[in-house]
Structure 1
Amino acid sequence: MDFATLIGLILGSIVVAVAVMLGSGFAPFVNVPGFLIVIGGAFSATLIRFPLKACLRSFGTALKQAFKEEVDSPLELIELAQHLATVARKKGLIALEDEAVNNALFAKGVQLCVDGHEAELVRSILRNEIHTSIRRNEVGERVFRALGDAAPAFGMIGTLVGLVQMLITLSDPSSIGPAMAVALLTTLYGALLANLLFIPIADKLRTRAEQERANKTLIMDSVLGIQQGTNPRVLRELLETHLPLDQRDGADGADATGDAEAKAA
């Protein structure tokens, strides 16, 4: 579970709710027609911009990527790659078939090696898998960013509708104040939804896509290195170049067991 997303949504909602309660209370801020204009308009505009299947898939992707921490640890992937490289050098690639690999892409790459496919074919298959997966996340990001763009625009449209309705009853001065307040509520709804929900989730999906691309590229390099029979210790050093500098220190502190495996190979 990614608690950052959940905490951010809850904290942001609490801040707005407390500010409202300290003022006039919730009642003046409730306007169902205005809310429907913002929500309905934003979703309608997004459906026009993207295929229906892409929109529906994006919501599932958002729930999975924004609220669940499912990104594999690069250090654990490097440890696994070093272990598999050691096994392959000692017993041959066929021995990798008995090794447990939980990551789906890594397992697929290892199986391709076990099946004896050429390195170029393995690289091509893994690269296509990476591009397909990343594209799925990118579409989700674009859908939520489109919602974030449309919500404030339809908030303004709702405000204009409210102003027109207010001007119709301009002969009654006592109704101008309440009518103006109602007209401005749709702008508030659009700004809140865009800046507290849609755009942050779009940014989170982009971050997840970047993390996933980095991990999957590391996996592809691991599989190709294992297939080529690279020394496990050398392979580890090559893979650590994918890590930020602050994480390489922890990776450099490999345990004696890992070093022993590499030397034995």
Structure 2
Amino acid sequence: MEKTTIIGYVGVFMAIMFGISFGGGGFDFTKLLNFVNGASIFITIGGTFFVLLASFPLKTFKNIPKHFKMIIGKDKKDPYEYVEILTELSKEARRKGLLSLEDKTKDFKDDFLKESIFLIVDAIEPDKLRVWFDQKLSYIEKRNEEERKLYDMGSAIGPALGMIGTLIGLVNMLKSMSLTGGAGNLGQDMSVALITTFYGSILANCFFTPISNKLEIIQEREILFKEIIIEGVICIKEGENPKHIREKLLNFLDEKEIPKLTGQKVKTAKAKTKVRIKAKAKTEHSLEN
């Protein structure tokens, strides 16, 4: 489970509850009732949902459970695992030929990796493979962007519906005012009018925007894995040296992650260089064996 997501949502909820309840030297939880208004909730939350429903097809909403699972679940994929797999496949292809790789795909859980291996087994030129992979990545990135549009639009609509609710409340408040009736209910009516703006801000900044940002990070990492696979399988298709393929694939990764190869902690630039040299030596030794 991704702890930062849970901690973030619980933290912001507690911060808002604390801000509402604390005041005058202590806590007064009855103040929470000041922020509960059925009409305001329906205008802001209900209105935002219906606008999104009018803006997107139904299949877009079917992806919401998958998105929540993505942002709450912990990513168990290891980029080094892909580097190791592709390096081993390159050695296998050198020893037994590309056709031998087809049997290796049975144990792979990554569908994109399987599909990519099947493509290089076929007699397709590397240039054509690159064009196909570029189109595939372009489609995936476009699809990911389309999925995030739901949350980006929600973060924009929430405050807008909150403002509409505020205007509705102000109009009703002004309409009910009279010279004979006085302004006894002015404060209460004004607070009700402002609650919708509060709900809209909460909806945008504490719900839609974090989900969109988290999805973007997860999807960009998924694209990174696919780029590693693409570069690896094309190098295998071109018959490059396994050692060279491994070094090329390591360039996709963050330098801070390199110590995972040796299990050491790196604190200085000099230490990082030593670890990289050690990791490279370890790689060359494993390939020679």
Q: Normalising by structure 2, what TM-score?
A: 0.82
| TM-superposition CA deviations, 1:108-163 (whole Å, max 9, x none) | 11122223333234333333332332222211222101100110111011011111
Equivalent residue number for residue 103 of structure 1: 110
Deviates more, 1:165-174 or 1:194-203: 165-174
State the one-letter code of the partner of 1:142. Answer: K
| 8 Å contact kept, 1:59–1:140 | no
SS at match of 2:184: helix
* Cα distance in 2, alignment partners of residues 91 and 235 from structure 1: 18
Deviates more, 1:130-139 or 1:17-26: 17-26
State the one-letter code of the partner of 1:12. Answer: V
Which residue, 143, 147, 157 being the options, matches 2:150? Answer: 143
* Cα distance in 2, alignment partners of residues 254 and 95 from structure 1: 29
> In 2 relative to 1, CA 45–59 (structure 1 residues): closer, same or farther, beyond 3 Å?
same
Deviates more, 1:93-102 or 1:57-66: 57-66
| 8 Å contact kept, 2:162–2:197 | yes
Shift of 1:57: 4.3
Deviates more, 1:39-48 or 1:209-218: 39-48
Corresponding position: 1:200 with 2:210: yes
Alignment of 1:56-67 (within 5 A): 56-67=61-72
State the one-letter code of the partner of 1:89. Answer: R
Corresponding position: 1:262 with 2:287: yes
Equivalent residue number for residue 6 of structure 2: 6
Alignment of 1:49-60 (within 5 A): 50-53=55-58, 55-60=60-65
State the identity %. Answer: 30
Equivalent residue number for residue 229 of structure 1: 239
* Cα distance in 2, alignment partners of residues 230 and 17 from structure 1: 60
Equivalent residue number for residue 93 of structure 2: 88
* Cα distance in 1, alignment partners of residues 91 and 31 from structure 2: 66
Q: RCO greater where, 1 or 2, for CA within 8 Å and sep 6 or more?
A: 1
| 8 Å contact kept, 2:56–2:150 | no
Give unmatched runs, 5+ long, in structure 1.
none
Which residue, 159, 169, 192 being the options, matches 1:162? Answer: 169
Deviates more, 1:209-218 or 1:251-260: 251-260
Give unmatched runs, 5+ long, in structure 2.
23-27, 262-275
* Cα distance in 2, alignment partners of residues 258 and 230 from structure 1: 16
Which residue, 25, 30, 34 being the options, matches 1:28? Answer: 34
> In 2 relative to 1, CA 4–200 (structure 1 residues): closer, same or farther, beyond 3 Å?
same
* Count of aligned positions: 263
> In 2 relative to 1, CA 245–256 (structure 1 residues): closer, same or farther, beyond 3 Å?
closer
State the one-letter code of the partner of 1:219. Answer: I
Q: Normalising by structure 1, what TM-score?
A: 0.89
* Cα distance in 2, alignment partners of residues 236 and 76 from structure 1: 12
* Cα distance in 1, alignment partners of residues 72 and 136 from structure 2: 23
> In 2 relative to 1, CA 80–116 (structure 1 residues): closer, same or farther, beyond 3 Å?
same
Tell me which structure has the larger Cα radius of gyration. Answer: 2
Equivalent residue number for residue 18 of structure 1: 18
SS at match of 2:185: helix
* Cα distance in 2, alignment partners of residues 26 and 231 from structure 1: 67
